[in-house]
Structure 1
């Protein structure tokens, strides 16, 4: 299906396996964590700690990991090519330059992996291709609170989360609604009935109603993309349910685990 003028699907119709990114036969894979926040925007309180937690998680799983907040690093397709997936963790606003967006697009077109965590949805608002990659962008959110999530799939990234509570969390109201797009698979929702501090956001969004999407996935413009809005607090970083959620999503985009399953 054409979405934003680019191929999108919930199967590998839109996947391009054009090159092997691993640089050695014995490597399990290589992961890049990107966490740049543009000047003038306050970073999330958990950003530095979150990068450290993710690095440890991925290394413990046997992966080689690099982390950067340098936009210049992202501006070369050759810099990105060795990585099996790229994780955007609480990036903010114009974290990618125009060259960085071009390089990421080339990387994805060749079959790259992309993981967007929490404020990745508050990044590069004015780029249509990047919005398509995310499947939605942050509009606003209700007060931080604890609420119950509901899996909508047997995907390994969410199958363990039935009835699990996360919080304090910002349950994003996003736009456009990814449920409108048949080439996106919704993996996880939040039960708004358990959001006891309300669902209305600071810009007036009333909440997303029944089936409020929290995590989803798709093949997009040649690559695999897995997205989650969960990841605001320091507390969530040490939650084993969140860690398993992230790890399975990352490995799916690398091709090392089932990806975007029903």
Structure 2
């Protein structure tokens, strides 16, 4: 019996929600999922429909949701529907909803830009940093055989809680002009249990190019499949 996956995509076009999610559609279809695609979170409020999904892949950056929509998503995950996503599509969604933030256990706070370029919109806030697999990650099926790697992309400052199991992290090292006085460890990929459901998220994925990176794409593909019911 084939499984069902809901892809919800939209919001800020800078994250290319259509191109980003299209990248993973062949993987999901090959894994035996029938797909439905929505461009708003309205479907989350439809409990009978949501109960039929084994996985929700969310790519909604800088959007809002109603109380009923957030409640519907929370209830579906608690009942066993998996939730997975990347970058701003999952940790910069529904900022005004404390219930969503509790569900995710993580929120985008900043992607610090080098002081010399601060405030410039024509320069991406990219940093070179190392993604390190944690001890928990070395034992987890998503990241068990993955190695540390260097990458140059947005480095997310993420606010998180202790319920998350961090599979990969990074050090956000202060440079000249930065306000924080010592390196801060930030999660890069993590899982979370919510009721009977599983959640996978990663801060990587600012562009389709980053998502296509041979170190990043398998991380997300495995994360989605792990999260699914």
Range into which the TM-score falls when normalised by the shorter chain: 0.7 to 0.9
Quickly say closer, same or farther: Cα 1:215–1:198, change in 2 above 3 A. farther
Asked if 2 retains the 8 angstrom alpha-carbon contact of 1:31 and 1:85, the reply is: yes
96, 105, 110: which one aligns with 1:126: 96
Distance (Å, rounded) in 2 between the aligned partners of 1:90 and 1:198 = 33
Query: Could you tell me how far 1:146 is from its partner in structure 2?
Result: 3.3
Asked if 2 retains the 8 angstrom alpha-carbon contact of 1:188 and 1:214, the reply is: yes
Residue 26 of structure 2 aligns with which residue?
56
1:131-185 per-residue CA deviation (whole Å, 9 max, x = no partner) reads 1121121111122133221011222322344222233x2221122x33xx1x321
Distance (Å, rounded) in 2 between the aligned partners of 1:208 and 1:60 = 45
Query: Could you tell me how far 1:101 is from its partner in structure 2?
Result: 1.0
Residue 157 of structure 1 aligns with which residue?
142
Distance (Å, rounded) in 2 between the aligned partners of 1:73 and 1:49 = 21
Poorly superposed stretches of 4+, deviation over 6 Å: none
Q: What are the equivalent positions in structure 2 for 1:207-226 lying under 5 Å apart?
A: 209-226=183-200
Residue 76 of structure 2 aligns with which residue?
107
DSSP-derived class of the 1:36 partner: strand
DSSP-derived class of the 1:106 partner: helix
168, 171, 174: which one aligns with 2:158: 174
Asked if 1 retains the 8 angstrom alpha-carbon contact of 2:82 and 2:198, the reply is: yes
Q: Which has the higher strand share?
A: 2
Query: Could you tell me how far 1:218 is from its partner in structure 2?
Result: 1.6
Residue 148 of structure 1 aligns with which residue?
130
Quickly say closer, same or farther: Cα 1:34–1:215, change in 2 above 3 A. same
1:89-117 per-residue CA deviation (whole Å, 9 max, x = no partner) reads 243231x2222112112212212211131
Residue 62 of structure 2 aligns with which residue?
92
Quickly say closer, same or farther: Cα 1:80–1:135, change in 2 above 3 A. same
DSSP-derived class of the 1:53 partner: helix
Q: Which runs of 5+ in 2 are unaligned?
A: 113-124
> What number of residue pairs does the alignment pair up?
213
Distance (Å, rounded) in 1 between the aligned partners of 2:60 and 2:133 = 23
DSSP-derived class of the 2:222 partner: helix
Asked if 2 retains the 8 angstrom alpha-carbon contact of 1:116 and 1:134, the reply is: no
Distance (Å, rounded) in 1 between the aligned partners of 2:8 and 2:203 = 16
Instruction: Using structure 2 for the length normalisation, give the TM-score.
Output: 0.82
DSSP-derived class of the 1:158 partner: coil
Query: Could you tell me how far 1:199 is from its partner in structure 2?
Result: 10
Distance (Å, rounded) in 1 between the aligned partners of 2:55 and 2:44 = 13
Query: Could you tell me how far 1:230 is from its partner in structure 2?
Result: 0.8
